[in-house]
Amino acid sequence: MDFLLSTAYLPNIQYFGVIKAANHVWIENHETYARQTYRNRCYIAGPNGRQMLIIPVVRPKGNHTSINEILIDNKQAWQKIHWRSIETAYNRSAFFQYYKDEFETLFTEPYYNLIDFNQKALWKLLKILHIDKNILLTEKYTAEWPEEIIDLRNEIVPNRKGILSNVYFESYFQPFSPKYGFLPNLSVIDLLFNQGQYSGEYIHAIAQHIEEIIVNR
């Protein structure tokens, strides 16, 4: 299976299940930027429940700005705020200290372009998770792709049901689950900090479920 995805900030578990299930993956590099999506936001399990982290962005061309032109608004101390939130959420997790140094650089080194930052984070996560896939950025915008390439650019979207909405996420321990219960399909860092080396098995199970849904859709 081949998939077309949007870029995403510290993508959720479902996103990595798609990549794991794929032979080839394209990430959209030329679409018009869409607000209120995973392109610049992710969700973690914090002390107050499901917590949203948003990268502040600048659209140089307003509503006509393409995703590869979206700039990060570094006038706001978002990196410091996000890292503090991640530490607060996961410093009691079983594997946070093990992976901490791998991620801290994402929030200390300067980045200026959203998709560059997202790709850097994605490659880091894929390496840690031992997922080796052929992932390419699109070279131009195309509204309709060949039928053999499954377009999920607008399917993995917050608070909206899509063709993958029936994916089952088995519960695992989260530090605040005694208070809020299990929160499924958060950023994959939630899985990684809580499950460590077992994260790959979890994503493999998600990938198998995604394959079944796509085949039977």
pLDDT in tens, 126-171: 999 999 998 999 999 998 888 889 999 999 988 777 788 889 999 9
Report the alpha-carbon distance of residue 8 to residue 68 in Å, rounded: 12
Count of CA atoms in the C-beta half-sphere (13 A) of 207:
18
**Exposed / middle / buried, residue 194 (Cβ in 10 Å: 0-12, 13-18, 19+):** buried
pLDDT at 51 over 90: yes
pLDDT at 202: 98
For residue 186, what are the domain limits?
2-216
If you search the block for the tokens 């499954």, which residue do you land on?
Answer: 150
The mean pLDDT of the chain is 95
Distances (CA, A) of 24 to 86, 111, 121, 135: 31, 27, 19, 6
> 3-class DSSP state for residue 211?
helix
Number of domains, the chain: 1
Give yes or no for a contact between 21 and 207, defined as CB atoms under 8 angstroms apart: yes
Give yes or no for a contact between 206 and 166, defined as CB atoms under 8 angstroms apart: no
pLDDT at 22 over 80: yes
pTM of structure = 0.96
> What value does the CA radius of gyration of the chain take, rounded to a whole number of Å?
17
